[in-house]
Amino acid sequence: MAKRTTKKKIRRPQVDKGEAGERVRKIYPILTKLYPGARVALRFGNPLELLIATILSAQCTDARVNMVTPGLFAKYKGAKGWANADLSEIENDIRSTGFFRNKAVNIKGACQAIIEQFDGKVPDTIEELVKLPGVGRKTANCVLANAFGKPGLMCDTHVIRLSRRLGLSGNTHDAVKLEFDLAEIVPEKNWTVFSHVLILHGRNICRARKPDCENCAISKYCPSAHKPELW
Ligand code: SF4
């Protein structure tokens, strides 16, 4: 009879908000020094272009999105251009970014809503942005932070993973709860830069499969450093 193996459940240490806040205070200056001028990698010229680029970036690399957006922005002019376009034509033009059917519906729907409810302008509050089709808090925060210069915490896959490894929140299974946890321990004026430096650190060092703890500038403050069972 085959031997039954039971997967050992990993118990993560409880997250203490005070300690997590202290950790943020320690790592923030290190990461901002390491990644000066960290900014969003998507290319855009106005809030609508960033909104569309962010919708396209779901399950797709920023580099791939940046390859297709110049042609798209030249073809579809403003919210009206997208709202009046044929859905199958949009699908065809954005096919290479993956999940193109959903994305096309969301982009066209968002542009129609922008015209009908917001006088043709992308709204600049999170409450209004999340009312647009296909726009969740991550996309809304990205637009707020990078197109409108307002503080925004962008909880993408890198921010989620690093927040878990760094013990910044016990809610890393839920991006919205994580955002609210981070909002309590990161000063509001630093929300945007904090998101960008965590994203860059996730791409460069604290990668999903094999984090490079050996060469990590914040390993001294990381509870998961050199502990594969916690990655
Ligand atoms: S020490 Fe390791 S797990 Fe912690 S942030 Fe650095 S690379 Fe990631």
CA distance 192 to 49: 19
CA distance 163 to 219: 13
Residues with CB under 6 A from ligand 1: 165-166, 205-206, 211-213, 216, 218-219, 222, 224-225
In the CATH scheme, what architecture does the domain 47-147 have? Orthogonal Bundle (1.10)
Out of 1.20.1260.10, 1.10.1670.10, 1.10.760.10, 3.40.50.970, which CATH number does the structure's domain 17-39+152-230 have?
Answer: 1.10.1670.10
Domain ranges of the chain: 17-39+152-230, 47-147
| pLDDT of the residue at 156 | 94
Assign residue 211 a region (left: φ > 0; alpha: ψ between -120 and 50; beta: otherwise). beta
Strands (E), the chain: none
- Say how many Å lie between the CA of residue 165 and the centre of ligand 1: 7
Average pLDDT, the chain: 95
**Ranges of residues in the chain whose predicted pLDDT is under 50:** 1-2
213 CA closest ligand 1 atom index: 2
| Residue among 147, 141, 184, 142 nearest 163 (CA) | 184
217 CA closest ligand 1 atom index: 6
* Amino acid making up residue 109: G
| pLDDT of the residue at 192 | 98
Burial of residue 103, with CB atoms counted within 10 A of its CB: 0-12 exposed, 13-18 middle, 19 or more buried? buried
- Give percent above pLDDT 70 in the chain: 96
- Say how many Å lie between the CA of residue 224 and the centre of ligand 1: 6
Residues taking part in catalysis: 138, 156
For 231, the token pair is 């990655």
| pLDDT of the residue at 3 | 52
Q: Which residue has the least CA distance to atom 2 on ligand 1?
A: 213
| pLDDT of the residue at 14 | 87
| pLDDT of the residue at 155 | 96
Phi, psi of 144 (to 5 degrees): -55, -50
pTM: 0.91
- Say how many Å lie between the CA of residue 229 and the centre of ligand 1: 13
Burial of residue 91, with CB atoms counted within 10 A of its CB: 0-12 exposed, 13-18 middle, 19 or more buried? middle
- Say how many Å lie between the CA of residue 87 and the centre of ligand 1: 44
Q: Which of 163, 205, 207, 230 to mutate to test the pocket of ligand 1 (most atoms within 8 A of CB)?
A: 205
- Say how many Å lie between the CA of residue 211 and the centre of ligand 1: 6
For 51, the token pair is 């909104």
The residues, ordered by sequence, that sit 6+ positions from 142 with a Cβ below 8 Å of its Cβ are 40, 50, 54, 152, 154
Q: Which of 213, 227, 230 to mutate to test the pocket of ligand 1 (most atoms within 8 A of CB)?
A: 213
